[in-house]
Amino acid sequence: MEACCGAHDWARQLQKRGFNVKLIARQFVKPHVKSNKNDVNDAEAIRAAMSRPSMRFVAVKTVEQQAPGDTPDQSRAMQSTHC
């Protein structure tokens, strides 16, 4: 899956059910998108990206790692990344 806020939650749920989940950072998927952004093109780009032997995957974040921080700087950082 392409790593985003919701993907980490999905990944945790799938891992609980025994699936091996691999997340790919968006910047590694984007070069493989061939045309307009839609679900089909995104799926093809993710498939193309993950088939690369040198692909680096993103670790699945825990709920605590995704939670907004307690300090104002951390809260602003979370708002700017939308995660």
Alpha helices in the chain (DSSP H): 5-16, 26-29, 39-50, 63-66, 72-81
**For residue 79, is pLDDT > 70?**
no
Bin 45: left if φ > 0, else alpha if -120 < ψ < 50, else beta.
Answer: alpha
Q: How confident is the model at residue 81, as a pLDDT?
A: 55
* Residue 75: pLDDT over 60: no
Averaged over 1-30, what is the pLDDT? 90
Read off the pLDDT of each residue in 68-79 and give the average, rounded to a whole number. 58
Q: Which residues pair with 2 in a beta bridge?
A: 24
